Structure 1
Amino acid sequence: MTTPFETRDLARIAVFAALIVALGLVGPIPVPGLVPITAQTLGVMLAGLVLGARRGAAAVGVVILLAAIGLPVLSGGRGGLGVFFGPTVGYLLGWLSGVIIAGLIAHSGRRTWWRFGLGAVVGGILGVYVLGIPLQALITGVPLAQTALTSVVFLPGDLIKAAAATIIATALLRAYPAAFAPPRSRALEPSGAPANA
């Protein structure tokens, strides 16, 4: 019987789950009348860029599960089921869609800085907003268009996080390419060496 992840995959997943939690220690930056800005989305972006869609989603899933059982793993020391009924729930669930999209883009071919950047923006920003904005509008009772318009205030900070994720992932690829797990289905050549991607 095979397991979905190898031991080293589990280690990578644990490291990135811990990174996302650690970035929550920075605490939310309050914005009057809006959802607070957090550093944790930087960790979500990095999880997708480095681990890929499946492993990145597992890392984010661990954090969401820990929050659901009440551990204070979210920005500002939040956790518990109440988080899933507040205006930020869409952004929290959007981490899953965001990390998957970022991972798919970053690992869709040869890993390059522009692919990392595209993954961070499309996945880490748009992929999160696609769930975050509608659910925030639904829970707060504010019209969708108005909620979307007020969310524009987060774009500069999110773009800075996407740029940081791109720089970090690119530097990590050069310094320690082993951090980037190869696809599980990667075939071995007859010589036993991994086939070129």
Structure 2
Amino acid sequence: MKPTPAIPATMTSTRSLSYIALFAAVIAVFGLIPKIDLPFGVPITLQSLGIMLVGCLLGPKRAFYTVGLFLVAVALGLPLLSGGRGGIAVFVAPSAGFLLGWLIGAVVCGVSMRQFMKRMPDAKGKGLLVAAFLSSLIGGIVVMYLFGIIGLMLAAHLSATQATLAVLAFVPGDLVKCAVCAVLVQSVARGMPSWRLDRD
């Protein structure tokens, strides 16, 4: 068997930058889908699906840079959040905790996916679906909700119980997003066999 030729570092860096820019744009595109406003100031959007996909497909390091780039663009005033929101003000709104949760949640999705892939015997079948679903669940629900609850407590002045009960409204939809993410990840793995799901 011939050894696999090494990929030049410059090519790898260029590819990484392309992925980061592409997936930041994907998160922004998901923001074009109308949001559903809830009484406590945190809307239901499709952008959290983008966060799950970024973590599962790009790995923790690239996921961090991707979501970080997106949030910096939002902070600079670009209306990339669902509903055309942007600017510094969104980082002190009741939904601010979820925005920070996006960054950490994407990284956790990536770390979880990497660990599952290392231990998973069925890298392209049902095992991959389960790995992507669980990774999305851990990073995209558990971690995001934790930050979201803290954000609601600080910005909306809710008690821990009130904030926890408030975010339960997101659970059914986010579980569907986890399932969609798992299917999309499996589709990428099958359509692009060289795509590494265990990347750093």
Provide the TM-score with structure 1 as the length reference. Answer: 0.87
Task: Write out the 4+ residue segments of structure 1 that deviate beyond 2 Å after TM superposition.
Answer: 31-34, 177-184
Amino acid at match of 1:98: G
Amino acid at match of 2:91: F
In structure 2, the partner of 1:67 is 74
Q: Verify the 8 A CA contact 1:48 1:101 in the aligned structure 2.
A: yes
In structure 2, the partner of 1:129 is 145
Q: Verify the 8 A CA contact 2:41 2:95 in the aligned structure 1.
A: no
What are the residue-to-residue correspondences of 1:14-93 with 2, within 5 Å? 14-93=21-100
When the two structures are aligned, how many residues end up with a matched partner?
Answer: 182
Counterpart-to-counterpart distance in 2, 1:179 and 1:47: 13
Counterpart-to-counterpart distance in 2, 1:182 and 1:7: 19
In structure 2, the partner of 1:151 is 167
Report percent identity of matched pairs. 38
- Cα-Cα RMSD: 1.7
What are the residue-to-residue correspondences of 1:101-112 with 2, within 5 Å? 101-108=108-115, 109=118, 110=120, 111=123, 112=128
**Correspondence 1:164 to 2:164:** no
Amino acid at match of 2:190: R
Q: Which runs of 5+ in 1 are unaligned?
A: 185-197
SS of equivalent residue, structure 1 residue 36: coil
Q: How far is 1:183 from its partner?
A: 3.6
SS of equivalent residue, structure 1 residue 62: helix
Counterpart-to-counterpart distance in 2, 1:44 and 1:100: 9
* CA pair 179-76 structure 1, distance change in 2 beyond 3 A: farther
Q: Which runs of 5+ in 2 are unaligned?
A: 1-8
